[in-house]
Amino acid sequence: MFRNKLGCYIFRVCNWIYTHKQVKYTKPSILMPQNQWNKKCHHITGYPHISLLAAGFGFITYSLCDMKYVVYADDSQDTRDEDKKANLFDNNLPTYSTSEVSKHSNYKERIWVTYKNGVYDVTDFIHEHPGGDQILMAAGGAVDPFWMLYSVHLNPHVLNILEKYRIGNLDPKENNDNTSDMSDPYSNEPKRHVILKPACVKPFNAESPEQLLVENFITPNELFYVRNHLPVPDIDSTTYSLEIEIEGKSKTLTLTLDELKKFPKYSVTATVMCAGNRRSEMTKIKPVKGLNWGAAAVGNATWSGASLREVLKKAGLNEKDLDKYKHVQFEAFDTDATGSAYGASIPIWKAVDRRGDVILAYEMNGVPLPRDHGFPVRVIVPGVVGARNVKWLGKIIVSSEESQSHWQQNDYKGFSPSTDWDTVDYSKSPSIQELPVTSAICQPIPNSTVTVENGQITVRGYAWSGGGQDIVRVDVTSDGGKTWHVANFEHRDPQNAPQHWSWTLWTCKLPVSKEDKKVEIWAKAVDSSYNTQPESFENIWNLRGVLNNAYHRITVNLE
């Protein structure tokens, strides 16, 4: 099958999916050393005539349109040898910075990508790529995170092809991922992958293309949505300290990062979702205040750290205190021009409940937290809105009252559709904690053209409910709700409610009419408390554009 010519290595994988049940996700694997990741043997299944979502750099695409074909990640010695080439510095080639590479993201400037320490010009490959322009997702950036998603690329033949397009080395100084301009409070921001679509640059807020979300149960760190309210602090882990205060008590506990790591280490796989996820759909009813998020302001990761419950106990909190104190406040190291820090709080019952699984995380998917995601420590509050999962954690306060920060008192609250900016009173609305049940269609993407196979199209997406509720069903329709088809679950959290913290990935073979040239697809989820999504946004509209959980609807063309 494998021939010497490049064209023979271009394969079309037709509608391939991960067979998640054959892979254990109890331990993070996204950023493992490459040979360990390969041994996970992710299975990828192809089906006839449906194009590959090329996730950035689809060198391997199989042209097997008359049969089902299963491909395994290759952990052979040949693969390891070829992979090492990308790590080697080639003295015969020029060196480029990531900023130089990022300029080459279109045909006029030519399409460049990086893999490990190599820089590659793949412009001449694109016209031969069966996945079409999907390959441009990684243009001007790194393909590494995509290859973590699609481990089938880790094959000696593919890596050999890649090396043929090498034009240079990535500057070794790029290991320092910061730039600095002291006149700009945002000058010391971390570098981000070009795949992230910014909703705002300063402060940085961005999400991945929705179609990538369902390609892996665990979201790679580089593709995880970023929600920042202020400049990203640059914290030295060797001098970092976390202060824990119990209101009214003289004793204050201060922990260094090393001391925090001496507590028993817990891991929890949990979905974090922004309160404004899917806001762009609500704005179609009438304008709202907030970032124009699509359906990808959400991600699922394995977080590891110390139990908040155990840390509070160490700080002196006991059972008798629970009648006096009602909230646990969190203060961050990110501050505004006045020195005011980002802050939030959660009910104390959530913080101390054994089943609450609240942790002070210092790892994300098996590696130290990236700066954008709270390095060195953030609180992870499973089942609760992302705004309470405070990053760059500096102080914890056990208190009789909620955090008085702007973001707890005057933001992240829901209101009646009739409330406007002349009548809004934030003091009369409770702060959002647990999010309602929601779902989204991730594949196909809106307004794309989908090939009908045997009277059906394949629809994939995610579903999630706050508070640890399980997803019991996802319904999908193509005829305006006259008939509903129950989706199959591709991967789901094995934990039962009320500790079902992760999203559920689903797929549906949706019947469509042969006569239709265009169809609107709807999806709705039902959780283990039999809560379901509202039909439309009209009756849940609110001026802040939060709690966007109406049916997800997209329109696609059929062929």
pLDDT tens digits, one per residue of 168-223: 999 988 755 544 455 578 999 999 999 999 999 999 999 999 999 999 999 999 99
pLDDT in tens, 269-324: 999 999 999 999 999 999 999 999 999 999 999 999 999 999 999 999 999 999 99
Q: Is the pLDDT of residue 114 over 50?
A: yes
**Exposed e or buried b for every residue in 176-213, given b needs 16+ CB within 10 A?**
eeeeeeeeebeebbbbbbbbbeebeeebbbbbbbbbbb
8 counts as catalytic: no
Residue 46 backbone dihedrals phi, psi, to 5 degrees? -105, 145
- For 497, phi then psi, to 5°, come to -60, 145
Are 25 and 218 a contacting pair, CB within 8 Å?
yes
Average pLDDT, the chain: 85
pLDDT above 90 coverage of the chain, percent: 72
Pairing state between β 449-450 and 552-558: parallel
> Does an H or E element contain 275, and which?
none
pLDDT of residue 135: 64
**Among the listed ranges 41-50, 185-194, 334-343, 513-522, which one has the minimum average pLDDT value?**
41-50
Q: Is the peptide bond before 446 cis (omega within 30 degrees of 0)?
A: no
pLDDT: is 143 or 403 the higher one? 403
Q: Looking at this protein, which amino acid is placed at residue 2? A: F
Q: Which of 12, 42, 104, 153 is catalytic?
A: 153
The pTM of the full predicted model, rounded to 2 decimals, is 0.76
d(CA 106, CA 122): 11
Map tokens 């053209």 to a residue. 449
Number of H helices, E strands in the chain: 12, 30
Burial class (CB in 10 A: 0-12, 13-18, 19+), 385: buried
Is 42 an active-site residue?
A: no
274 noted as active-site residue: yes
Nearest to 274 by CA among 373, 386, 199: 386
- Among candidate residues 240, 266, 412, 551, the one labeled active-site is 412
Angle between helices 77-87 and 156-164 (to 10 degrees): 30
Active site residue 129: yes
**Sheet-wide strand order for 205-207:** 197-200, 205-207, 226-227
Residue 128 or 548, more confident? 548
**What confidence tier does 61 reach under pLDDT thresholds 50, 70, 90?**
very low
495 to each of 217, 492, 501, how far by Cα in Å? 14, 9, 8
Q: Is 521 in contact with 528 (CB distance < 8 Å)?
A: no
504 neighbors 489 (Cβ within 8 angstroms): yes
Please identify which of the residues 9, 14, 240, 274 carries the catalytic annotation: 274
- Pairing of the two strands 166-170 and 95-96: parallel
The SS3 assignment for 118 reads strand
* pLDDT at 76 > cutoff 80: no
Per the CB < 8 A criterion, the answer to whether 7 and 61 are in contact is no
Mean pLDDT of the region 320-347: 94
3-state SS of 14-82?
CCCEECHHHCCCCCCCCCCCHHHHHCCCCEEEECCCCCCCCCCCCCCCCCCCCCCEEEECCCCHHHHHH
Residue from 20, 157, 193, 227 carrying the catalytic annotation: 227
Q: How many CB atoms neighbour CB 99 within 10 A? A: 12
Domains and CATH numbers, the chain: 6-174 (3.10.120.10), 241-428 (3.90.420.10), 438-558 (2.60.40.650)
Please give the Cα distance from 237 to 333 (Å, whole number).
Answer: 13
- Choosing from 42, 43, 104, 129, the catalytic residue is 129
| CA 485/CA 475 separation, integer angstroms | 5
CB 98 within 8 A of CB 170: yes
pLDDT band at 126 (very low <50, low <70, confident <90, very high): confident
Q: Is 388 a catalytic residue?
A: no
